[in-house]
């Protein structure tokens, strides 16, 4: 009984400790359209594998004063015992993962404490938020000695209000980032990508008026392409205000009045050039309330399916895609985070003839989505509900749904995002179906305008006749699935003998196919991991796809070799998944040109 009480008190204390941080403020959209102060650069760090800075020796949470959030100055008073010190030479660059910045952190999974000391001149008529583009995986934020918020989920933004908490000099912002994997996590324990930890995207101070335009939706009405519809949400005391929404280039303007909750919806007549890959037209959209104004660049298009076709602006489109992990090109292959990384990766996709990219397996940084929009690349965006998620765990569902909401909130105004995907290769089962049906319902409730998908798996009818027999098909808009005929299923010649049959009339979308090759490794076409094997596999794969009725798109796996702890052949993989069409150093493999040629003919 005593032991049970001890366990209960520890669990309660831990929950209360974490709960005591509070939760982040609702997401502010389009922060790049706001007044921001960057906190990027070198932050002081402490690597803390036993979470010494958070728990005492009995694993009970410290008070703030005894935790590392207190940021004691070890040098100030040597008579007092503090067994930690941020004022060392141990720094990490923010944004950036820690794994590729420090050899000793290559495989590290645990807590790293980050500290930034900054000055700030508070203004009486301004609110201030600390905005994180992402932190992988579990982040606890402390300011000037006090825990203030916690965010779980490694790939979505969050912002914490710090109005009235800042001082003119020496603000101590401390973030405990823990990238340990958890069975009940999203993703869970096993994933085929590197578990890059850290403040992996930019950290900004965002200043707003006391009442500001926090969120808005401005999109083309899907059943009337001559109308824009949307809504605006103010945040602050002065909730009832006139808000003007203007698209100067279209000479469209409407004024609405927000209600006591700060909310108003609107419609406006437009005659736009529709966004499409050939003409990725974006318009300045200016939203002005009595106390705030924010500008965004927004495109207008319709997306829908008709039978086995995907229709963009009412016309059938074939999604000539490629899958991409969020890894920087060249260099150490760490987490990508910058506009430059995005332009390089997406430039390679354009060079291959793509009009579409699958941003796998989690929401990428906002630069990737916005640069893709400018370049005319449609986007499939997904949350990391990947493989063996704990589908019967309510906390796991809440985590998945929170990441879904954050993803849609951030990117719902991006015309190029045409597909939200809720899962990848998840094993069939009753709990899994209910879990995914709830996510799909939530997606459609938040955004009824875009297509919803999941990367399912193929089912064999016989050795060479395949289909997709997943109960999920009824709830998604595409028959999207990953298949590896010629790599995990037989050798390349098997592609020539495959028949694909589908008894559901929806667009067929092959969300992964391919095989590995080491750039510059040449040999017989039958030898795995040679460029010749991969080239032959790709040629036979595209020939096979030409025979698939209702195929509306594909995103071969994958643009660039990427790190994975599951890929261990020394001298061939060396912790890299080698299915890239381009090597981690930017070398284009022979298969790249097979895809380029096939897309040119599409
Ligand atoms: C799976 C999975 C990918 C993985 C790939 C592979 O389909 O979705 O995340 O990297 O196969 O085995 O290379």
CATH of the domain at 402: 3.20.20.80
Query: Do the domain assignments include residue 391?
Result: yes
Spacing, Cα 193 to ligand 1 middle (Å): 9
Let me know whether 588 and 462 are in one domain: yes
User: What pLDDT band is residue 2 in, cutting at 50, 70 and 90?
Assistant: low
Question: Which residue CA neighbors atom 3 of ligand 1 most closely?
Answer: 192
Spacing, Cα 524 to ligand 1 middle (Å): 25
Paired tokens of 215: 């969120």
577 lines ligand 1 (CB under 6 A): yes
Which spans in 423-501 are helix H? 430-446
pLDDT (0 to 100) of residue 80: 87
pLDDT (0 to 100) of residue 122: 87
Let me know whether 318 and 358 are in one domain: yes
User: What pLDDT band is residue 483 in, cutting at 50, 70 and 90?
Assistant: very high
3-class state of residue 400 by DSSP: helix
Query: Do the domain assignments include residue 271?
Result: yes
At 493-507, the pLDDT tens digits run 999 999 999 999 999
Say how many domains are in the chain.
3
Query: Do the domain assignments include residue 340?
Result: yes
pLDDT (0 to 100) of residue 176: 98
Say if residues 576 and 562 touch (Cβ distance below 8 Å).
Answer: yes
pLDDT (0 to 100) of residue 237: 97
382 lines ligand 1 (CB under 6 A): no
Please state the length of the chain.
602
pLDDT (0 to 100) of residue 77: 83
- Positive or negative, the CA dihedral 41, 45, 49, 51 is negative
Atom in ligand 1 nearest the alpha carbon of residue 577: 13
Query: Do the domain assignments include residue 476?
Result: yes
pLDDT (0 to 100) of residue 17: 44
The CA–CA distances, whole Å, from 379 to 312, 347, 457 equal 13, 14, 21
pLDDT (0 to 100) of residue 8: 53
Let me know whether 238 and 179 are in one domain: no
Let me know whether 422 and 486 are in one domain: yes
Spacing, Cα 129 to ligand 1 middle (Å): 38
Q: Tell me the whole-structure pTM to 2 decimals.
A: 0.96
Let me know whether 66 and 132 are in one domain: yes
Out of 17-26, 163-172, 334-343, 526-535, which region has the weakest mean confidence (pLDDT)?
Answer: 17-26
192 lines ligand 1 (CB under 6 A): yes
Query: Do the domain assignments include residue 3?
Result: no
User: What pLDDT band is residue 78 in, cutting at 50, 70 and 90?
Assistant: confident
Final residue of a structural domain among 208, 242, 271:
208
pLDDT (0 to 100) of residue 332: 84
Which mutation among 188, 192, 516, 573 tests ligand 1's pocket best, with the greatest number of atoms within 8 A of CB? Answer: 192
Let me know whether 248 and 343 are in one domain: no
Let me know whether 321 and 216 are in one domain: no
425 lines ligand 1 (CB under 6 A): yes
Of all helices (H) and strands (E), which one includes residue 411?
helix 394-411
Spacing, Cα 510 to ligand 1 middle (Å): 13
Q: What angle do CA 231, 234, 236 make, to 5 degrees?
A: 165
Final residue of a structural domain among 166, 193, 208:
208
Q: How far apart are CA 335 and CA 364, in angstroms?
A: 10
Angle between helices 339-351 and 366-375 (to 10 degrees): 40
Spacing, Cα 192 to ligand 1 middle (Å): 6
Final residue of a structural domain among 208, 240, 268:
208
487 lines ligand 1 (CB under 6 A): no
Q: How far apart are CA 588 and CA 210, in angstroms?
A: 51
At 249-280, the pLDDT tens digits run 999 999 999 999 999 999 999 999 999 999 99
Let me know whether 497 and 564 are in one domain: yes
579 lines ligand 1 (CB under 6 A): yes
pLDDT (0 to 100) of residue 15: 47
Residues 6+ apart with CB under 8 A from 570: none
Spacing, Cα 136 to ligand 1 middle (Å): 21
Q: How far apart are CA 547 and CA 106, in angstroms?
A: 44
CATH of the domain at 96: 2.60.120.260
pLDDT (0 to 100) of residue 123: 86
CA 341 from chain centre, in angstroms, equals 15
pLDDT (0 to 100) of residue 213: 98
Query: Do the domain assignments include residue 274?
Result: yes
Q: How far apart are CA 286 and CA 142, in angstroms?
A: 35
Q: How far apart are CA 484 and CA 490, in angstroms?
A: 9
Query: Do the domain assignments include residue 400?
Result: yes
At 212-246, the pLDDT tens digits run 999 999 999 989 999 999 999 999 999 999 999 99
Residue 385 has pLDDT above 70, yes or no: yes
Say if residues 593 and 586 touch (Cβ distance below 8 Å).
Answer: no
Which mutation among 577, 578, 580, 581 tests ligand 1's pocket best, with the greatest number of atoms within 8 A of CB? Answer: 577
Residues 6+ apart with CB under 8 A from 224: none
At 416-449, the pLDDT tens digits run 999 999 999 999 999 999 999 999 999 999 999 9
pLDDT (0 to 100) of residue 58: 97
Paired tokens of 489: 């299923």
Say if residues 341 and 347 touch (Cβ distance below 8 Å).
Answer: no
pLDDT (0 to 100) of residue 446: 97
561 lines ligand 1 (CB under 6 A): no
If you count DSSP H runs as helices and E runs as strands, how many of each does the chain have, helices first?
7, 34
Which mutation among 425, 515, 556, 578 tests ligand 1's pocket best, with the greatest number of atoms within 8 A of CB? Answer: 425
Query: Do the domain assignments include residue 243?
Result: yes
421 lines ligand 1 (CB under 6 A): no
At 3-20, the pLDDT tens digits run 556 555 544 554 444 445
Spacing, Cα 462 to ligand 1 middle (Å): 23
- The percent helix, strand, coil of the chain (3-state, each to 5) is 20, 35, 45
482 lines ligand 1 (CB under 6 A): yes
- What is the average pLDDT score of the chain? 96
pLDDT (0 to 100) of residue 76: 85
Domain that holds residue 97: 14-208
């Amino acid at each position: 009984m005593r032991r049970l009480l001890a366990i209960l008190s520890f669990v309660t204390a831990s929950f209360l400790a974490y709960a005591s941080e509070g939760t982040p403020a609702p997401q502010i959209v389009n922060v790049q359209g706001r007044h921001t102060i960057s906190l990027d650069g070198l932050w002081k760090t402490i690597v803390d594998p036993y979470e010494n800075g958070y728990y005492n020796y009995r694993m009970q949470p410290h008070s703030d004063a005894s935790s590392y959030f207190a940021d004691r100055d070890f040098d100030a008073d040597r008579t007092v015992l503090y067994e930690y010190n941020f004022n060392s030479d141990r720094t990490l660059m923010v944004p950036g993962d820690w794994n590729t910045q420090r050899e000793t952190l290559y495989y590290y999974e645990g807590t790293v404490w980050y500290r930034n000391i900054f000055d700030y001149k508070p203004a009486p008529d301004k609110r201030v938020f600390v905005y994180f583009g992402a932190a992988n995986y579990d982040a606890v934020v402390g300011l000037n000695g006090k825990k203030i918020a916690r965010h779980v989920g490694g790939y979505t933004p969050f912002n914490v209000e710090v109005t009235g908490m800042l001082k003119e000099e020496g603000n101590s912002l401390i973030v405990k980032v823990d990238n340990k994997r958890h069975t009940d996590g999203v993703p869970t324990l096993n994933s085929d990508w590197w578990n890059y930890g850290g403040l992996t995207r930019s950290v900004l101070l965002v200043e707003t008026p006391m009442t500001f335009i926090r969120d808005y939706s401005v999109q083309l009405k899907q059943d009337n392409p001559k109308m824009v519809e949307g809504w605006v949400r103010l945040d602050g005391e002065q909730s009832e205000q006139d808000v003007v929404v203007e698209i100067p280039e279209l000479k469209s303007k409407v004024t609405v009045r927000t209600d006591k909750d700060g909310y108003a919806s609107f419609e406006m007549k437009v005659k736009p050039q529709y966004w499409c890959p050939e003409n990725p037209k974006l318009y300045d959209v200016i939203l002005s309330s009595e106390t705030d104004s924010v500008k965004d660049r927004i495109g207008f298009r319709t997306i829908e399916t008709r039978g086995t076709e995907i229709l963009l602006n009412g016309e059938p489109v074939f999604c000539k895609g490629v899958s991409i992990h969020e890894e920087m090109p060249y260099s150490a292959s760490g987490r990508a985070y910058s506009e430059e990384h995005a332009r390089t990766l997406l430039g390679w996709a354009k060079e291959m003839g793509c009009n579409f990219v699958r941003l796998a397996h989690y929401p990428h940084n906002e630069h990737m989505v916005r640069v893709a929009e400018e370049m005319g690349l449609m986007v499939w965006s997904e949350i990391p509900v990947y493989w063996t998620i704990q589908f019967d765990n309510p906390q796991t569902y809440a985590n998945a749904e929170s990441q879904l909401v954050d993803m849609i909130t951030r990117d719902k105004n991006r015309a190029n995002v045409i597909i939200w995907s809720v899962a990848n290769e998840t094993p069939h089962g009753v709990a899994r179906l209910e879990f995914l049906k709830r996510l799909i319902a939530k997606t459609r409730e938040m955004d009824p305008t875009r297509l919803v998908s999941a990367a399912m798996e193929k089912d064999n009818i016989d050795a060479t006749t395949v289909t997709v027999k997943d109960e999920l098909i009824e709830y998604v808009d595409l028959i999207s699935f990953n298949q590896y005929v010629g790599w995990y299923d037989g050798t390349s010649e098997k592609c020539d003998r495959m028949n694909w049959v589908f008894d559901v009339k929806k667009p067929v979308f092959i969300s992964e196919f391919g095989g590995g090759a080491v750039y510059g490794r040449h040999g017989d076409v039958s030898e795995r991991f040679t460029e010749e094997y991969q080239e032959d596999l790709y040629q036979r794969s595209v020939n096979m796809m030409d025979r698939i009725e209702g195929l509306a798109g594909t995103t071969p796996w994958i643009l660039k070799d990427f790190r994975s702890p599951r890929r261990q052949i020394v001298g061939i993989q060396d912790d890299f998944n080698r299915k890239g069409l381009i090597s981690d150093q930017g070398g284009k493999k022979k298969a790249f040109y097979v895809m380029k040629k096939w897309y040119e003919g599409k």
